[in-house]
């Protein structure tokens, strides 16, 4: 099995968000994919099998399979368009979140992603204790998005992972207005066995959509203020979906030699 290590949402190796992309002829047992995701110990390992004109794509964290992952989709599109479907300008993936299409836009890959209904919920003392700072607002979709006063608060945050795992949302996100970008954010994922996702595309289906409404803009330049850091260019579509664009760079190409159980 061929495996590629790709850094997504960056044009520099060893920054952005790393994802492993495994390209296979057929599907192994789910247990095998979970074991390989645990072995890689990255926030996501993507598994790809060509099915007709499209590709079937699945994502696994070290703890579980997930229904949507932005950076591993970007990494998968980069691998397919660079090594398997050279000369093509787009690729479609069949996923648990439906058909996801990724198109080349110059040196960017643009992903067409779903958005989620967002509702404001009360800010609680538990949220304040978990993040270490009291949010100004809390918004819930698939994930929790807590809005803070300043970029400095988000950057300096050292949340309590155990408490985060007891509050709402698949992922617990912190966001604030950015000094040089429209917004900054960090994404914490204790429920997925990931303390912090370096650059989370799926979370920005909600974070960027919220800021687009607040700022009255269709295009949002977001920066994920993790230690690795990464840029996401987000555009609200007339279809009600969101386009999320970023760059990607290849770090390593390997062969999985161990037989999968």
Nearest-angstrom CA–CA distance, 235 and 221 = 9
The closest alpha carbon to 55, from 14, 10, 25, belongs to: 25
Report, in angstroms and rounded to the nearest whole number, the Rg of the chain calculated over CA atoms: 18
Nearest-angstrom CA–CA distance, 164 and 196 = 11
In the chain, alpha helices (H):
30-40, 70-79, 125-131, 151-156, 161-164, 201-215
Distance in Å from the first CA to the final CA of the chain:
13
Contact assessment for residue 91 and residue 85, using Cβ atoms and an 8 Å cutoff:
yes
Please list the active-site residues.
Answer: 44
């Amino acid at each position: 099995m061929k495996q590629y290590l790709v850094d997504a949402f960056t044009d520099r190796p060893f920054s952005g968000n790393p994802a492993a992309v495994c390209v296979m002829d057929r599907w192994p047992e789910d247990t095998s994919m979970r074991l390989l995701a645990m072995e890689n110990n990255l926030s996501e390992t993507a598994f790809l099998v060509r099915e007709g004109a499209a590709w079937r794509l699945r994502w696994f964290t070290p703890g579980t399979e997930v229904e949507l992952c932005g950076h591993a989709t970007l990494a998968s599109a980069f691998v397919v368009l660079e090594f398997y479907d050279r000369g093509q300008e787009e690729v479609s993936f069949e996923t648990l979140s439906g058909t996801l299409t990724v198109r080349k836009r110059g040196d960017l890959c643009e992903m067409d992603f779903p958005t989620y209904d967002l509702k404001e919920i009360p800010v609680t003392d538990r949220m304040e204790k978990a993040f270490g700072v009291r949010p100004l607002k809390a918004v819930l979709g698939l994930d929790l998005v807590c809005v803070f006063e300043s970029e400095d608060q988000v950057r300096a945050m050292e949340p309590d992972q155990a408490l985060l795992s007891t509050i709402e949302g698949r992922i617990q996100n912190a966001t604030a207005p950015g000094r040089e970008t429209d917004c900054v954010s960090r994404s914490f994922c204790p429920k997925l066995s990931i303390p912090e996702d370096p650059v989370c595309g799926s979370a920005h289906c909600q974070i960027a959509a919220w800021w687009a409404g607040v700022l009255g803009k269709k295009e949002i330049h977001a920066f994920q203020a993790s230690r690795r850091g990464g840029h996401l260019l987000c555009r609200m579509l007339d279809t009600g979906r969101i386009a999320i664009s970023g760059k990607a760079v290849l770090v390593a190409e390997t062969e999985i030699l161990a037989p999968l159980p």
